[in-house]
Every structure is written in C-alpha cells, then in structure tokens.
Structure 1
Amino acid sequence: MDADFTHIGELGTLTMPEALWDRAKTISAVIAPLSMQVVVGGAAVQAAALALGISRRQVYVLIKRHRDGSGLLTDLAPGRSSGGKGTARLSGEVEDLVREIVRKQFLTRQKRTLAAVYRDIAAACRARQLPVPARNTVERRIWALNPVEVGRRRGGPNAVRPLQSAGDEVPVIDTILEQVQIDHTVIDVIIVDERERQPIGRPYLTVAIDVYSRAIVGMIVTLEAPSAVSVGLCLAHAGTDKRPWLERLGLEAQWPMSGKPRQLYLDNASEFKSEALRRGCEQHGIKLAYRPPGRPHYGGIVERVIGTAMQQVHELPGTTFSNPVERGRYDSDRKATLTLRELEKWMTLAVTNYHGTVHSTLGQTPTGRWREGMDVTGLPAVASNPTAFLVDFLPVVRRTLTRTGFVIDHVHYFSNVLKPWISRRDTLEPFLIRRDPRDISRIWVLEPDEDHYVEVPYRTMANPSVSLWEHKHALARLHERGVAQVDEVMLFRTIEQMREITATASKTTKRMRRDAERRNIATTAPSGPPVPLQPPGFSEEQTLDTESAVAQVPRFDQIEQW
C-alpha cells in the first residue's frame, strides 16, 4: 500500500498564519538580493539587520539558508513553535498588555527600538505582578504585525506606497520572464468528440506570454471554463520543460521557452485572486500584479496575441468567426471536424511557427529575442517537479482525519501513510488538502509535521476516476430522486449509470457528448503511438510527417505595434 502515494518534497504554502507569511515576505525582500551577491559587505548586512530588526549574525544565517535552500519563500520563514497545540502560551492579560504597549510605543513615528519596547513591557508586567514574557516572544508578536501597517505608522504613507509607473506609460521590461501576462478566451471554433465525431461546442484557451520576448511560455486548451485551476495549469505548463508534453502529443516541434516568471501580470478577474494562486506565487518567488482599472494598454500584449491567434482559427473548419454577421450562413456545427486533442496540436504548431516569425515591434523573432535574454540572465529557473509545482496552485479543502482516512464529498481516501497520524488524530488540527477538479481519484495531503505533501488515493481502488463536475452531477441526480443520505457506493453507482446512458444512447445531445469528452480527457491518459495530426482539407487517408504538418499551419499574422 505504501506504493500508492507519492511524497512531494516541497514545503506547504497554506499552513502558516497570514501574519507569519507576511513576515517571511518581508525577510525575503531584504535577504534574497543579498544572497545573490558573491561577497556581502558589512554595511549591507548592518542595513539588513536594521531593516528587519534582527542581529547581524541572524542576517548571515538567513543569507546562508537562502543560498542553501530551493529558492522558495518558506526557506526564510521564521521558526514556528507549536505553542502547546498551536495556541499562544501567554495569558490573556499579558497578551493584552503586550498588544497595548506595542501599539503605543512601537507603532509610532518615534520609531523606538524593539529593545526599548521590551524594557517597557517587562517593567509594566513587574508593576502588575504578571509573568514577564521572553524577549523572543515579544519579537514574534511584532514580526506577526502587518508590515504595511507597521510601515505606515512608523514612517508615514510614503514609506509603504508601492512603486508605480509615471503617467500612463507601461513600465519597461528589460529581460526574459521579468513579466509574464496571462489571459483566457473562448476559441472561435466548434470541436467534435473523439467517439462520434459530433460537435460538442467551443473550448477555452489560457495563454501566458513573456513580455520581453513576446514568446508564448504557457498554453492550455480545455473544455473547462476559466478558473483558478486553469491559471495553475498554465503556470505549470510555463514553468516546466515542455519536451515530455510535446512527446505525448506526438510532435517533434521545438518549444524551448520555459521558466518561472518573476512577475505575473493579470486582469482583475476573480480566478486571478484566489488564495491558492496568491500563496503559490509567493512560495515560488512570483510577484502578482494587476492591471490598473481604466488603463487597457496595461496587459494588452497577451490580448493582442490572443486576438491574432483567433484570426488564424477563423481559417479552420467549424469556426464560429468573431460574430454572427461575419459568420453569415456558414454552418459551424456541420463543418466541424477537429477534436480537442487535434486542436491542441494545431495550436502548438501555430505557436512554434509564431516563435520563428519576425515580430514587427522587436524586429526579430521571439526565439531570437528569448536567446538574447538567456545570454544575459542564463538558464531560467524551471520547476524540477511538475506535480509538486502544480499542486501548489490547486484548490484547497480542509478535513479532519478519521479512523478510516479522509471523507470529502462522500468519497473516502486512505493510504498506509496516514496510520501514524490516525493514532493521534484527536490532537491534530484539520488537514490541508489539495484536489485536482479534473480527477478526484487522488488528493494531496499536507503532512502536519514536515510540511510535505503526500498523495492519498481512493480507499476503494476499484472506483473509477471521475472529475469534480461529474461527481457534482451525480449528487444532483441523487438529490432530484429525493435521496437524503448519500453514500459512496450509491454515488459511484449513479456515475456508472450516467456513463452507460451517454455511451449507449443512439443519438446524444451536444451537451452529453461534451460531458463524455470532458470525462475522457480528465480520466484517460494518452497511450500507444500518437495519431498524426491531419490538417483541415485532408482526407482521413492522408497523413503528414511533422515538417509538412508545420508547413500547413497558418502562421500568426505580423503582430501590430504594441
């Protein structure tokens, strides 16, 4: 049973309290630049010590920890104590006194030192015959304060005002992956299902573009509506080596643009503001920035690329064009021929063609520009473990551990790795669990002791892999029948019945075909030799090798000046 889970050796991102997480961000902002220097001067160490309110020795310890670590924010997190059971060990009266004196003595323009504030706290405790807290305990209380609030009270509004570009000029980007923009769109083409080759509707595209080189570093084509998961999948695609993915598609195309962005530039859609996305980006040193309201030229680069891609999509069979007037009497459903996987291949070949096309603004190809950037910055940081990287961006649920494992939405999960925690489950807080909505047959559980993820499968291994949307449809079906008490056996029996109806129906609706295709994509891994992509206009008997297939793909048009 031990082989049923995977140990993910990356620190968790959601276990820290918010205040402690903010403190880690403050430390990282000071220590990370110093750790990149070959020699750190005494003046720089002294300035860092003053900025963080710690000793010079602690600064050197943090620099070494950052250099020896994996480049994650949690490498610099202050040490955490269980405090008995995760609670403060100071009495309520002492906590109130510490809080009051910190507010009156530390959070002022006088900028009193931590040592002076601690002396006042100790004197006040003795005067009231209360136990004097240790100095490091007071330090932790101060470190837990919101750094923005601390900066505002001690230095004024200008001390915490974020850097902004002057006027309406978009900030200049100087190197690759300095800024990556992500956006979604619905693709203007009807696709067909793999089984019956009947239309199932329009898919969605999520794309990430490197602003410096105009290269596309990440792309996801899916039947799922845009969500925080779409963003996480696109980031995982951008931050990992694409060669294994290209092999699974059966393509020999070159797509060398990969790496973790330093800044992610987004619009203000709700899926771009999830807790999982924010913490995941902070964990991997990715800064989040949002487009200022009312300034459409911010973030316009990714939108222009998407618009150009859609113009090329209009040449595919089954296109819906941009509007009904442009479509005219063209029957998009009847002309549709491409499956989702074939469209993904087509988009991939179109992207690789675009990378080799001279860009009108750059005066060179995105590939050439990317290589120039690499000559300056070196090889970009690529996620070594794609699964662990993706897990950091998946949605989160929290559950208490039971004798039989975890129960999430009537589904049981268990692995032998849980046994040491089951024996002391009454002393543990609810576990943080991440779940991929595309396939809920496994979950990733954050260890309470080591902050590593472990993979935990279904308790009943015979249950089929299902997606979260299929699971919800089955629950809705049971509730429609008036079933008040839903159990796991009943739930999966309903899912199987729904699948049989879809599979055996002589004529299915577009929605049923679409749901069946979503299920196949979510639960079926590619196997066997890949089927070569047949571009539009070719009969089923005709196939092309990779080079000729690339030649048949329409290139992205010359992109207008941005």
Structure 2
Amino acid sequence: MEADPDRIVADGQLTMTDASWEQAKSRAAVIGALAKRRVTGIAAADEAAMKLGVSRRHVYLLLGRYRQGSGLVTDLALHRSTGGKGGNRLPEQVEEIVRGLIRRRFLTRQKLSVAALHREIIRACGLQGVKPPTRNTVSRRISMLNPVEVGRRREGPDAVRPLQSAGGDVSMIRSILEQVQIDHTVIDVVIVDERERQPIGRPYLTVAIDVFSRALVGLVLTLEPPSAVSVGLCLAHAVADKRPWLEHLGVEAEWPMSGKPKSLFLDNAAEFKSEALRRGCEQHGIHLSYRPLGQPHYGGIVERVIGTAMRKIHELPGTTFSSPEERGRYDSERMAALTLPELEKWLALAVASYHGSKHSTLGQTPAAVWAAGITATGMPAVTANQTAFLVDFLPVIRRTLTRTGFVIDHVHYFANALKPWISRRDSLGQFIIRRDPRDISRIWVLEPDGHHYVEVPYRSISNPSVSLWEHRQALTRLRERGAAQVDEATLFRMIDQMRQVSDTAVKTTRRLRRETERRKQAKDPHHPGTQSSQIPPTLAVPADGESGKETAVQPFEQIEEW
C-alpha cells in the first residue's frame, strides 16, 4: 500500500499556517462530499483529484483518513513536523484521548457540553498519567468539526436539513457573511400610535442572519407588508454601522455585526425575486440563491431565530400569541402599550442580549464567533451612506425623458442635472429610475453612462411628500367620482382632502391612525434605510467589492435547539 505522505501528526489548527489551514478546508469540502457516498467510483475520484491537484490514489487515502477521523478539517491537513523538543503539538496519547472522547461522548444524543467534555478529558488524562489539554484546545477541536455531522449525531437528521444545499450535500459555510438568510414575519403584538396611544395593529419584521455566526446583521420594523423595499431596507441596515441608529433609539448596547454579504439565501416569495433585488445584488456582487420548491426545511436558520423572537414577544403587553386558542380571553388591543419606536428599541436590546448568550449549537456566543471571523478574514466592507446603497434596491421604473423632465403616474419631476440630456433625449432611450414607495417626492435617475444616480425632486416644490399608497388611493377616489382626466394639481388636491379627513378621524379609526404612523415612519431620517433630508444630489454607483414606556428584555435563549 502506498504511504500516506500527508498523515497529520501535529496538533491541528494550533500549529498550522494560514495557507495550510485554507488548503485543509478546501480538501474537506471536496473529500467530505465524497465521504457521504456509499461507493466512490473512479470518475468521482478523478474529478476530486483534478480539483485538489493530487493523484487518484491520494484521493482514496484522504477519503479513508476522513472516514476514520472525527470529521475534523485537520484530518486532511498537510504533513507537518512533529515539532521536536518544545513543539506545541499534543502528545499522541493525549491526542487519542481527546479524539476518542469527542467521538464517544460529545457526538451523541446526550449532548454533553464542552465544559463537561473537558472535565472527562482531564479525568482520563489523570488516569493515564499525562498532562491534559486546556479547555481552549478542546473548544477549538469542537469548532473544527463538521457542523452538519455534529447536528446529525447530537440532534438527529431532521435538525440539520437547513444546513444542507438543494442537492442534499452539505453547504459548507466557512466565514462570516459568506451566506446571509433573510425572511419576514408579522409580529405577534399590537402596537399603539404615538399621539393617542390607541391600537393600530401589528407591524412587520424583516431580519437578516449570518449563517456562520448565527448573528443578526440586519433588522427592519415596518408598518408596510413585506416587499422588495423591505428587503432593501434590511440590507441597508445590515451593511451600515449601527451605532447612529442605536444612539437615536437611546439604546446603550453593542451591535458590531455589519457588512455586505457575499450571498443571500431566500425563499421563493415574490419580493425576493423582484427586478429591484436582482439588479441590486448584481450591482454589489451579492450572489442570490433560493430555497428549493417543495422543500420548506431549507433555509430554516432564520426562521428558527424568528420563531424564538416571537416566543419572547409573547411576554409583551398587547401580544396576540401564536393562535386564538393560545390567546384565549386575553384582550390584545386593550392591553396594547408599545409604540413602533418602543418596540424597535426592545428588539434592539433583545438582539444585543442574544448576541452575548451562549448558542447551543455553536458552543459559544454569536458575538464570539463573529469576532473570531473578523480575526480570520478582516473587517467586512461597511457602507457610509445607507441611502446610496438602498437606492440600488428600490423598485425599478423605465421612462423616456421629455423637455420638462420625467412624468411618472401623473407626477412631474425635474432637476437642472437633466438639462444636458434633454437636447439629446431621443438618442438616449428609456432611463432606469428608482422610486421609494414610502415617499415619492423624489426619484433617482441612472445617468446614461450607468455610473451614478441623480436625485430628481418634484417639479413643483409646493407638493407635499406622499407615499405611493396615498397616491393610489387618491387616484381611486378621483376615478370613483368620474374624473375623465387626472392631472397633477387635481391629484394633490385629493391627497390634501384625504389627509384632512385622516386628521379629524384619527382618534376613532385604527386604519387612519396606522396610515398616519406610516407617513411619520417614512419621514424619520434615523430609521434604518430611511431617506434623510441631507442626501447628496448625486449618488455614486458602488463598484464591486466595495422614548416612552420601557419593557424588560429577556435574552433570546436556545436559538435553534438542534
């Protein structure tokens, strides 16, 4: 039999260079996929050999070593020196104790903790008269285990389905922001308006979670149903420094998890397949992948976090619980007490608490895993201008330029920046325009060269900021009254009349109170992704690679009990 030239004899990651560690991870990805097959044929072995740059026989040697080991990345590391005198490897006797107890005691349904495992290793080493490893060494060994194999052995096969790809193979996530999952939910609590503190219904939550660290990187609370804008707002929150937002909320907490994701994993809802999201991700080099149809268990990591959050929210006043049966005779609207900003503050505190709580699957806190990821890969790219980032994810409209600017749904837009294009408008064709449905008082027009967006406001500066929802309601009212033609002046007069009715009826009508809060939220410059009045007139298209009543917060515990 051919000798195994790469047999590992050193103490794993502790004595490996960065290059060796990266090569071992690459090997684990290829060999781990082969190991799941009952039989590895010559064709599959040759394909793996091509990927790894080794011989077919060497592939079989690596495969045997991987199956005999504990699923460690270091099982496939390059041959290293034993270290000699003063080397920092574990003695072979201690190595066998650690590996054996990990396999027999940690990778079982008993779900022994790392601390308990370390105590057993100390006892076993004491019986054999050898020096035990430190707990940090044991923890590092655990962190190098295949997460799917750990979950399968400790929790069962159903628990690891969310970690698997569409083809059933392991989706190996090796670094922070390598994959981010996003999902929405309606929150199980009724909130109140800020003026009268009367109930206005349930808000919507959109969250983004980093799969590698299980840290939440983005969160948006809105009164709007889930849409492409919700996704854009959540992404804008994820890529920005969260300190200004936390200061605005009055929250003294750490939330350092920010950065542009390398890929998004989403379900098949319409808002996740919009042109706005697709073009935005292409612009920023973010890969999009979707949950396989008919296989709802894929992508369950973010859903588990949302489910845990809802259980904590059931402790808040005004909760609707998960079902009428669970709610019983509890009057959610009468007990409602929190405004939207107060609920947002509660969520921010709860997320900070969750990041500092030990994760049952990771064996450490999400904050610690995130910090380790920063050490390994460096600080991720963070945007300094959320609005510029958000524009790339707003709904797309195409219009031709006229001598007076653009006309969109009976509303005229103009800026001096358009003048150089007007004279040659016939040769330019249709422009790509982005519009925020929450506030249509301005649009962003992509320059003909495709490098910058130009902000273009209403042509008539006397018109108020309105949402697309108000705009459409006004059009509906005008048509109901038999208006044969609609012009801009008529449209905004109808919007003004609707707002006057809203202001007089807001004390008694929950729907109108809710609409008032929606308008207020859209104008809040501190809300994640919301437009500020201090937006620069020209937005560069990023190049690739770039107070009220407080409620006690309890930490999110036992997220994803796998």
Report the TM-score, using the length of structure 1 for normalisation. Answer: 0.66
Displacement of 1:216 in angstroms is 0.2
- Residue 482 of structure 2 aligns with which residue? 482
- Residue 472 of structure 1 aligns with which residue? 472
Contact 2:305 2:560 in 1 (8 A): no
In 2, Cα distance between the equivalents of 1:308 and 1:192?
A: 23
SS of 2:174's equivalent? coil
- Residue 498 of structure 2 aligns with which residue? 498
Displacement of 1:494 in angstroms is 1.0
- Residue 275 of structure 1 aligns with which residue? 275
- Residue 191 of structure 2 aligns with which residue? 191
Contact 2:397 2:434 in 1 (8 A): yes
Q: Which amino acid aligns with 2:459?
A: R
Displacement of 1:430 in angstroms is 1.4
| Map 1:144-543 → 2, pairs under 5 A | 165=165, 168-449=168-449, 451-505=451-505, 507-525=507-525, 532-536=547-551
Contact 1:470 1:519 in 2 (8 A): no
SS of 1:183's equivalent? strand
User: Using a 3 Å threshold, how does the CA distance of structure 1 residues 374 and 480 change in structure 2: closer, same or farther?
Assistant: same
In 1, Cα distance between the equivalents of 2:447 and 2:394?
A: 16
1:482-506 per-residue CA deviation (whole Å, 9 max, x = no partner) reads 1121111111111111111111227
Report the TM-score, using the length of structure 2 for normalisation. Answer: 0.66
Q: Which amino acid aligns with 1:197?
A: R
1:90-137 per-residue CA deviation (whole Å, 9 max, x = no partner) reads xxxxxxxxxxxxxxxxxxxxxxxxxxxxxxxxxxxxxxxxxxxxxxxx
- Identity of paired residues, percent? 74
Displacement of 1:533 in angstroms is 4.5
Displacement of 1:409 in angstroms is 0.7
Contact 1:182 1:206 in 2 (8 A): yes
Displacement of 1:453 in angstroms is 0.5
1:239-270 per-residue CA deviation (whole Å, 9 max, x = no partner) reads 11112222222223211000111110011111
Q: Which stretches in structure 1 are left out of the alignment for 5+ residues? A: 1-163, 537-551
In 1, Cα distance between the equivalents of 2:165 and 2:332?
A: 45
Contact 1:440 1:467 in 2 (8 A): yes
Contact 1:189 1:313 in 2 (8 A): yes
Contact 1:266 1:299 in 2 (8 A): yes
Contact 2:267 2:291 in 1 (8 A): yes
Contact 2:433 2:444 in 1 (8 A): yes
Displacement of 1:519 in angstroms is 1.4
In 2, Cα distance between the equivalents of 1:478 and 1:236?
A: 36
Q: Which amino acid aligns with 1:407?
A: V
In 2, Cα distance between the equivalents of 1:340 and 1:286?
A: 31
In 1, Cα distance between the equivalents of 2:225 and 2:428?
A: 36
| Map 1:74-153 → 2, pairs under 5 A | none
In 2, Cα distance between the equivalents of 1:167 and 1:395?
A: 32
In 1, Cα distance between the equivalents of 2:410 and 2:385?
A: 31
SS of 1:189's equivalent? coil
User: Using a 3 Å threshold, how does the CA distance of structure 1 residues 223 and 526 change in structure 2: closer, same or farther?
Assistant: same
- Residue 26 of structure 1 aligns with which residue? none
1:497-531 per-residue CA deviation (whole Å, 9 max, x = no partner) reads 1111111227432111111111121134469xxxx
- Residue 560 of structure 1 aligns with which residue? 560
Displacement of 1:561 in angstroms is 3.0
In 1, Cα distance between the equivalents of 2:412 and 2:436?
A: 16
Displacement of 1:427 in angstroms is 2.3
Contact 2:505 2:512 in 1 (8 A): no
User: Using a 3 Å threshold, how does the CA distance of structure 1 residues 525 and 178 change in structure 2: closer, same or farther?
Assistant: closer
Contact 1:431 1:448 in 2 (8 A): yes
Displacement of 1:555 in angstroms is 1.1
Displacement of 1:169 in angstroms is 4.7
Aligned length, in residue pairs: 380
SS of 1:397's equivalent? strand
Displacement of 1:170 in angstroms is 4.1
SS of 1:217's equivalent? strand
Q: Which amino acid aligns with 2:263?
A: Q
Q: Which amino acid aligns with 2:318?
A: G
SS of 2:182's equivalent? strand
SS of 2:397's equivalent? strand
In 2, Cα distance between the equivalents of 1:534 and 1:336?
A: 12
Alpha-carbon RMSD: 1.7
User: Using a 3 Å threshold, how does the CA distance of structure 1 residues 267 and 517 change in structure 2: closer, same or farther?
Assistant: same
In 2, Cα distance between the equivalents of 1:176 and 1:410?
A: 46
Contact 2:179 2:212 in 1 (8 A): yes
SS of 1:454's equivalent? strand
SS of 2:181's equivalent? strand
Q: Which amino acid aligns with 2:467?
A: S
In 2, Cα distance between the equivalents of 1:244 and 1:507?
A: 33
User: Using a 3 Å threshold, how does the CA distance of structure 1 residues 481 and 271 change in structure 2: closer, same or farther?
Assistant: same
SS of 2:289's equivalent? strand
SS of 2:297's equivalent? coil
User: Using a 3 Å threshold, how does the CA distance of structure 1 residues 181 and 335 change in structure 2: closer, same or farther?
Assistant: same
